[in-house]
Amino acid sequence: MSRSLSLAAFISAYAQETNEPWIALLTIDHTELDEPMRFALNGEDITSRGEVFKASWFDVILPDDTADRPSQAQITFPNVAREMTALLELSLTPPTMVIELILASYPDDVEISWPALTLQTGTKYNSQSVTGSLTGKRMLRETYPKGVVSPAYFPGAF
C-alpha cells in the first residue's frame, strides 16, 4: 500500500542524515475513560492539533501495510499511574489505540496514522508496563451490503 507524505517527511525519511526527528504519538481511548490518554515518544510534552501529548516512553512495532489482512502491531507502554491495569481488569471491552507519526517541526500534520487499533486479549501487565498486541478492524468479516432489504425486515417496501 502506498502512502503520501509531505515533502519535508519524504526528505527526512530518505536523507542519509537529518535534523528532523519523527515523533510517535499514542492515543489510548475507552468508554470508561473520562478523556483519552495521550503519549508522545519524546523528551518533552508536545501539542498536536490542540491536544497535549505527555512525554513518555513506549515501545511499538509498527503495523505492516499489507492489503490482505488487518493491521497488526506490538506495543509496550508505561503503567505508572495504574490506570490501564484497572481498565484491563474491570472492563468488558478492550481499549482502542491510535498510533501516529509526526515531524517535530510540523506537529499538527500527521504523516502516518494507524487508527482504531484494538488491544487484544492476552495482554500482559505488571507494575511498570503493559505489553500487548494490537489489530485493526477485520474488514473482510463485515457483511456487504450492510442491510438486506427483504419482506421480513421491510414489509412496506414490497
In the chain, what are the domain boundaries?
A: 7-157
Whether the pLDDT of residue 29 is over 70: the answer is yes
Kindly report the three-state secondary structure assignment for every residue of the chain.
CCCCCCHHHHHHHHCCCCCCCEEEEEEEECCCCCCCEEEEECCCCEEECCEEEEEECCEEECCCCCCCCCCEEEEEEECCCCHHHHHHHHCCCCCEEEEEEEECCEEEEEEEEEEEEEECCCCEECCCEEEEEEECCCHHHCCCCCCCCCCCCCHHHC
pTM for the model: 0.78
- pLDDT of 137: 67
More confident residue, 148 or 14: 14
- pLDDT of 141: 52
What mean pLDDT comes out for the span 9-29?
90
Cα separation, 41 vs 157, whole angstroms: 55
Whether the pLDDT of residue 140 is over 70: the answer is no
Whether the pLDDT of residue 115 is over 90: the answer is no
Q: How confident is the model at residue 53 (pLDDT cuts 50, 70, 90)?
A: very high
What mean pLDDT comes out for the span 53-69?
81
* From the candidate CATH numbers 3.40.30, 1.10.3470, 2.30.110, 1.10.10, the one assigned to the domain spanning 7-157: 2.30.110
Residues of the chain above pLDDT 70, percent:
81
More confident residue, 85 or 103: 103
Q: What is the distance of C-alpha 113 from the center of its chain?
A: 7
Whether the pLDDT of residue 34 is over 60: the answer is yes
